[in-house]
Amino acid sequence: MKKDTGTRKEITSKWRLETQLVRGGLWRSEAGETSEAMFMTSGFSYDKAEDAAARFEGTQEGYTYSRLRNPTCAMFEEKMALIEGAEAARSTATGMAAVQTALMAIVAAGDHVVASRALFGSCRYILEQILPKFGIDITFVDSRDNANWDTAFRDNTAAVFIETPANPTLDVVDIAYVSKLAHQAGALVIVDNVFATPLLQKPLSLGADIVVYSATKHIDGQGRCLGGCILTSNEIMDEIIMPFYRNTGPNMSPFNAWVMVKSLETMALRVNQMCDNAAALADTLADTGAFEELLYPGRKDFAQHDLAMKQMTKGGSVIALHIKGGQEKAFKFLNALEIIDISNNIGDARSLITHPASTTHYSVVEKTRQELGITDGMIRLSVGLEHKDDLINDIVQAAKQAGLI
Ligand SMILES: *Cc1c(COP(=O)(O)O)cnc(C)c1O
């Protein structure tokens, strides 16, 4: 018999975020384990054949097969739904599985999709290369000016895909504005909320219909597991997402779900500290004059600062830097770093730095990269949990070695 410890929504939804992160979704077996159990099982057995029939019929509650639902994944999903303020959540093997599932579940041949132009490389690839193969038209919008959205919608627009702040340019999208236009056109709005995390920004409360995450980033936050999550209303989940999800199998492994559940317990502590470190680094580094341009949504000199701060409670953990001297100087700077790792992940406890044009956005055609501002001299810094002064010293010494100061 399960003990009801943290799954009654009428109680858990009233808890504050920190309590939800630690206790939300907790489901104890009869052993009374303190920490969540890992149900590493593909299937489930039934006492009687009648029970199996009833579960498949939907008249008996319970598990049938881990592609459809698994108890450890369900604990992760319940916790995610609580902190996002969503009715329903489903976990996926990766962030890209979440993006692909959400899009493919909505669109059909002959539909049109509107997307912000600045996107994570693989998100852009799905929209630009994969969906058109199935007869779906895409319009990309420069999201920095709301007027650009006004003319983007058509009668057959079925979905909008936006990422805000975007990877790696940090372009911000006005979620409320775009959602209003989308709903007038009868389209569903999907927000990739990876950079903001559920802590800083709540797209559903701003009018979006579906939120997707790469749990690989701040949610695991310690560089161990890939994962993703789709969050939405019960209606959209049951009627649109689940028929696709159930039959195509983008699921997260119970092992990864267990790691993610443990990670969520500390997410607020980690993300808050990472954002505070990033804000301190952005201010100090801007004053060194080592970089041609420094982009950080939390700084007043960021072009979309007001909108970013209207939608987010902090500026995030990622800083974009433009280095004079293109790829050669950028590589010199990266290679001279002693603490910060050259790595294309973000949201990790370790500070990580990458050169998007040759890594995360390598698959984006050159012309598009130029339009987006992903120049050969651009680098993306994901600020971690090390002491901020050690990070500043590392960056300054590397900038000196690279001849930037
Ligand atoms: C990393 C990332 C993804 C993809 O997530 P994976 O877990 O690597 O599949 C999608 N969107 C954004 C904004 C990301 O940063």
Which domains are present in the chain? 6-264 (3.40.640.10), 268-401 (3.90.1150.10)
- Say what the pLDDT of residue 1 is: 40
The residue whose CA is least distant from atom 2 of ligand 1 is 214
Pick from 99, 200, 217, 317 the residue to mutate for probing ligand 1's pocket: most ligand atoms within 8 Å of its CB: 217
Task: Give which of 320, 315, 371 is closest to 128, Cα–Cα.
Answer: 371
Helix (H) or strand (E) segment spanning residue 162: strand 157-163
Cα Rg of the chain (Å, integer): 22
Ligand 1 pocket residues where CB is under 6 Å: 94-96, 99, 120, 122-123, 163, 167, 192, 194-195, 214, 216-217, 226, 228, 346
- Say what the pLDDT of residue 6 is: 60
- Say what the pLDDT of residue 5 is: 59
Cα angle value 52/54/57 (rounded, 5°): 110
- Atom of ligand 1 at shortest distance to CA of 346? 15
According to DSSP, the residues that pair with 163 across neighbouring strands are 192
Pick from 119, 167, 190, 218 the residue to mutate for probing ligand 1's pocket: most ligand atoms within 8 Å of its CB: 167
Q: What is the pLDDT of residues 15-34, one digit of tens each?
A: 999 999 999 999 999 999 99
| Per-residue tokens: 289 | 């004059």
- Say what the pLDDT of residue 7 is: 66
Enumerate residue ranges in the chain where pLDDT < 50.
1, 3
CA of 91 to the centre of ligand 1 (A): 14
Distance CA 16, CA 396 (A): 40
- Say what the pLDDT of residue 218 is: 98
The residue whose CA is least distant from atom 4 of ligand 1 is 95
- Atom of ligand 1 at shortest distance to CA of 167? 13
The residue whose CA is least distant from atom 11 of ligand 1 is 120
| Per-residue tokens: 328 | 């050669």
Helix (H, G, I), strand (E, B) or coil at 190: strand
Helix (H, G, I), strand (E, B) or coil at 268: helix
- Atom of ligand 1 at shortest distance to CA of 347? 15
CA of 95 to the centre of ligand 1 (A): 5
DSSP code of residue 239? I
CA of 180 to the centre of ligand 1 (A): 26
CA distances to 86, 196, 388 from 277, in Å: 29, 15, 6
Alpha helices in 185-241 (DSSP H): 197-200, 234-236
CA of 323 to the centre of ligand 1 (A): 25
